[in-house]
Amino acid sequence: MEALPDVAVLATRLKNTLIQYHNLEDEKWRVAKKTKDVTIWRKPSEEFNGYLFKAQGVIDDVANSVIDHIRPGPCRLDWDSLMVSLDILENFEENCCVMRYTTAGQLWNIISPREFVDFSYTVDYKEGLLSCGISLDWSEKRSEFVRGYNHPCGWFCVPLKESPSRSLLTGYIQTELRGMIPQSAVDTAMASTLINFYGDLQRALKKKETCPNFLKSKWDEEPYAKKKSGARETVPSCYQKEAYKIPLRFYVQPFLNEETCSPTADLGL
């Protein structure tokens, strides 16, 4: 296990950064894409040479359930069509963990699979929850993946005042895929990717049997209750998505080496 910054300090700094994004004035944002259910805005990031994206839409479920489908675990892996594997490297108290996850190659693997190592933190926010994360400079790298980097990202989920059984989900995303892909290409695709994210999440919540029964929430069953004491159950260390479950509209699943779970081709983009 690599040495980490002080977990409490990192979690607090990350939470405060996301709250700062959440409190930005409306005029700071420019609409990037809008559908009937979801709106995507963007502004230049202060972290890197790309954009900070803001996504917002109403989800037909309570905040606890929505966040349980977003934060690290096999429930997230099961429905998120861009994610192929997820590995919990370290669990901490106060709902913190370090996770490593991978995304599939795209365009017949011309665009290489990506790997991310993120610190994740979930915390109460007003009547709802905030789940946020940031990539770590993890020295261990695997040659079959290009290491991507998530600058401070997160999802605020709060109940609608007029309809407490539904939630307003607001996300902030700023991702570097790195490799040879121009950041401008990533920024162009991000708005559509986020809209698809909302659609996939909404469908997953309508059929909650997709979330494995062994993934227990740290939050009470009653909507918007405060969290329980005690650690969350450990997620299996290597959870691999079956290729046939991945919708082809997002990417073409690369051929995998059955022994290493790694792609057999990589052109390095």
pLDDT band at 116 (very low <50, low <70, confident <90, very high): very high
pLDDT in the model for residue 219: 39
Residue 224: both structure tokens together: 């918007």
Amino acid identity at 135: S
**Residues ≥6 apart with Cβ < 8 Å to 134:** 10, 14, 118, 119, 150, 151, 152, 153
Q: Which pTM does this prediction carry? A: 0.78
**Higher local confidence (pLDDT), 185 or 220:** 185
Write down the CATH superfamily of domain 7-225+241-263.
START domain (3.30.530.20)
**Higher local confidence (pLDDT), 227 or 202:** 202
pLDDT in the model for residue 250: 30
Distance, CA of 58 to CA of 159 (rounded, Å): 9
